[in-house]
Amino acid sequence: MFGLPGKKAIFGWLGIFTIGNTNHMIPLPLVYCVYGTDAPQHLGKVQTLMSQFKADNRIEDFFPLEIDNALAISERFKANDIIVLLLTVELNKKRKDIASLIVNIESKFPGSIIVEIIIDNVPFENRYITLPQNLRPIRDVQDMDLAWNDIEARLKQILPAYKTQKKPQLSKYIKYLILIIVLLILMIWRPWS
Q: What confidence score (pLDDT) does residue 14 get?
A: 37
Please list, in sequence order, all residues whose beta carbon lies within 8 angstroms of the beta carbon of residue 51, skipping any fewer than 6 positions away.
62
What is the tens place of the pLDDT at every residue in 121-151? 998 887 899 999 999 999 999 999 999 999 9
The answer to whether residues 31 and 62 touch, using CB atoms and an 8 Å cutoff, is yes
Mean pLDDT of 59-66: 94
Number of H helices, E strands in the chain: 6, 7
Residue 26: its pLDDT value, please?
73
Q: Most confidently modeled of 2-11, 122-131, 132-141, 159-168?
A: 132-141
Which is more confidently placed, 55 or 192? 55
**pTM for this predicted structure:** 0.72
Residue 187's pLDDT band (cuts 50, 70, 90) = confident
Antiparallel, parallel or unpaired: β 30-35 and 82-87: parallel
| pLDDT of 184 | 86
Rounded to whole angstroms, the Cα distance separating 176 from 174 reads 5
Sheet holding 30-35, edge to edge: 61-66, 30-35, 82-87, 113-118, 129-131
- All structural domains of the chain with their residue ranges: 7-24+164-189, 30-158
What is the second-level CATH architecture of the domain 30-158? 3-Layer(aba) Sandwich (3.40)
Q: What pLDDT was estimated at residue 124? A: 85
